[in-house]
Amino acid sequence: MEEEKENSTSTTPPRSVIPPSIVPPLAPIPPVRPPMLQNSEVGPSDSDSDHNELGTGINKGAGEYEISEESRQVRERQEKARQELMLKRRAAALAVPTNDMAVRARLRRLGEPITLFGEREMERRDRLRMIMAKLDAEGQLEKLMKAHEEEEAAASISRDMAEEELEYPFYTEGSHSLQNARIDIAKYSLARAASRLQRAKRKRDDPDEDVDEEINWAFNPAGNFSLEFSEVGDDRPLSGCSFSPDGTQLATCSLTGSAKLWTMPDIRKVSTLKGHTERATDVAYSPVHNHVATASADRTARYWNDQGTLLRTFEGHLDRLARIAFHPSGKYLGTTSFDKTWRLWDVETGEELLLQEGHSRSVYGLAFHHDGSLAASCGLDSLARVWDLRTGRSILALEGHVKPPQVVKTTLAAFGI
């Protein structure tokens, strides 16, 4: 037994001793593979794998690889889209003015064009939002803060100036002559209004008064009207006519710029009034004298006696005159013009007492209440206004016309005023 043991020990080869510092690997290291391709890319086929490894050199060594040009472009597009998305998110969180003027002011302060061709308000606001987001992303917060400080400074200055401004009255202070004229008109109109109201009360209390019968008495003669005379008034079309208070004379004006006086009813020319340099637009007889006033496109109105002598010229309008009318007292003259105003003149002195605005377009017609307290004007803005001559206020606006009213000639009493 001992011999067999010795023989077996002698035939068994000796075991190798491994140094403790060397550790054998547990598994082989896998080769480095290229990154996975996106869905939009088409990967190389198996047949081209050898060619790619040899030609493009994707696997350059241990731990290093190179991507293809298509993959690089896709990554660049993805990065750009990600940056745009982040920029839009940042822009949505920014506070942008909603007022278009404030948007323009901030664009100007940032050195950008305040508007582009065909750009609307919302598009301009979106452009400002993107510019601010871009500046914020680039770290140029100082520029944004400077623009904001400038806006705050401008707003504070405007508020201080508004506080320092004096509160002026909304009306224009009239002259002493206008004050005297208003007092005179008030006295004149109050007396006439009192007598008118007394007549109205007497008619109302009279049991024999029949309103329908009175209306028929006024309108029935109109059915018997007939042409009695016909006369050529001038070489060019006539633009206006007016009867004298006593009905013995007729005044006409034409586009030649002249006016003519005719006797009634035999239609005989008495005199010709020449003086205007442009076409005459209207003529009116004074309610207290046989004097005539004419209006013209030469921006003036003229006052004549019945002999054809020029007594006064009224100058001040900035555009051609349209219509002309006398106040019932005969002391004042009203003129309308295409300069969007109507004016009140003193007949005796020729002084301009009142320049009345209120129409947005040219003023065409003018009429006075027979009491003398009110005046009505109409313009090409399709609006008629009633004015209180004693205070200068617009007390009534008559709206409803689709097209501009051309004449305000009927008495205001027809409207119940």
Residues 190 and 136 in one domain: no
Residue 291, domain member (yes or no): yes
Q: Which residues have a Cβ under 8 Å from the Cβ of 408 and sit 6 or more positions away?
A: 365, 366, 367, 376, 377, 378, 384
Residues 96 and 187 in one domain: no
What are the pLDDT tens digits along the chain (417 aa)?
444 444 444 444 445 444 544 545 544 555 545 555 444 444 444 444 444 443 444 444 445 567 788 888 888 888 888 877 776 776 666 777 788 888 888 888 778 888 888 888 888 888 888 888 777 777 765 666 676 677 777 776 666 665 555 555 556 678 899 999 999 999 999 999 999 999 888 888 877 777 778 788 878 887 788 888 888 889 999 999 999 998 899 999 999 999 999 998 888 999 999 999 999 999 999 999 889 999 999 999 999 998 889 999 999 999 999 999 999 999 999 999 999 999 999 999 999 999 998 888 899 999 999 999 999 999 888 889 999 999 888 898 888 777 766 555 544 444 444
Q: Which two tokens stand for residue 205?
A: 């209390």
**Which residues lie across from 367 on neighbouring strands?**
376
Contact, 271 vs 283, CB < 8 A? Answer: no
First to last CA, the chain: 155
Residue 127, domain member (yes or no): yes
99 is in which domain, residue-wise? 74-151
Residues 250 and 390 in one domain: yes
Q: Which two tokens stand for residue 245?
A: 């208070």
Question: Which of 329, 319, 332, 336 has its CA nearest to residue 407?
Answer: 336
Question: pTM of the predicted model, to two decimals?
Answer: 0.57
Residues 115 and 258 in one domain: no
Q: What share of the chain is helix, strand, coil (3-state, %, to 5)?
A: 35, 25, 45
Residue 358 sits in a domain whose CATH number is 2.130.10.10
Residues 123 and 182 in one domain: no
Residue 43, domain member (yes or no): no
- Domains in the chain, number: 2
